[in-house]
Structure 1
Amino acid sequence: MTKSCPALAERKAVDVIKRADTALAAAVSLALEEAVKQVTEDMRAIDQEDATPVLEYFAGVVHQRMYCLMCGADPDTFEGGDPDIAYHVIRNSQNIARHYWSADIEPYPPK
């Protein structure tokens, strides 16, 4: 009987998740670019090209929906979310801004 190496099995699992993360990030980026392209074309067709939202607008929409999903809230109504998870997600964002981008922000104190 061959015994499997726990470290090798863990590494394989990490690789599977990393590939899924990479594919997901690429799909989201592509979807954002496609949304901007489609809206640009649609706005041009109604002579409203100057009112076309930029990619960051659509990224904000995705961010808001993902925030709701992370917190367990309905992304359409914002109902049902867990405030403790929301607190930790916001605190994590504050720490990222402070650590990586030198934001002048004091993260919420730990609970």
Structure 2
Amino acid sequence: MTKSCPVLTPAETKTVDVIKRADTALAAAVSLALEEAVRQATEDMRAIDQEDAKPVLKYFAGVVHQRMYCLMCGADPDTFEGGDPDIAYHIIRNSQNIARHYWSADIEPYPPKQ
């Protein structure tokens, strides 16, 4: 059996286009914010004679990742309180599947919840 791809209505196509544009703009804004954080930290570290201790982009990306994970789970990103463990489970499982499928990670994803 072959899966068919539904033909979108003109309104659905416009909706998809709006979401794609917003997604692209968001990704660009996050990338720019990460680069700015590194630039600002580098400048501030230099001002206190700590040039060797400047944070790298991956550090700030980790900060964004943690905050987004909390928001996706419904938790307060500052206190980690109030998150939904079922959503957390699915986010982690999705990450495991991506690592396994795209990067050949030697990982067995959590089993699906029944």
The TM-score, its normalising length taken from structure 1, stands at 0.93
Q: Residue 5 and residue 84 in structure 1: after superposition, are their counterparts in 2 closer, same or farther (change >3 A)?
A: closer
1 CA distance for matches of 2:75 and 2:37?
Answer: 24
Give ranges in structure 2 of 5+ residues lacking alignment.
Answer: none
Alpha-carbon RMSD = 5.5
- TM-superposed deviation, 1:5: 16
What secondary structure is seen at the aligned counterpart in 2 of 1:4? Answer: coil
Q: Residue 64 and residue 3 in structure 1: after superposition, are their counterparts in 2 closer, same or farther (change >3 A)?
A: closer
**65, 76, 84: which one aligns with 1:63:** 65
Give ranges in structure 1 of 5+ residues lacking alignment.
Answer: none
Greater Cα offset, 71-80 or 3-12: 3-12
List per-residue Cα deviations over 1:9-36 (Å, max 9, x = no partner): 1111000000000000000000000000
**18, 28, 31: which one aligns with 1:29:** 31
Q: Following superposition, which runs of at least 4 residues in structure 1 exceed 4 angstroms of deviation?
A: 1-8
The total of aligned residue pairs comes to 111
- TM-superposed deviation, 1:4: 22
Q: Which residue of 2 aligns with 1:99?
A: 101
2 CA distance for matches of 1:89 and 1:81?
Answer: 12
The TM-score, its normalising length taken from structure 2, stands at 0.91
1 CA distance for matches of 2:84 and 2:53?
Answer: 36
- TM-superposed deviation, 1:107: 0.3
- TM-superposed deviation, 1:3: 28
2 CA distance for matches of 1:2 and 1:105?
Answer: 30
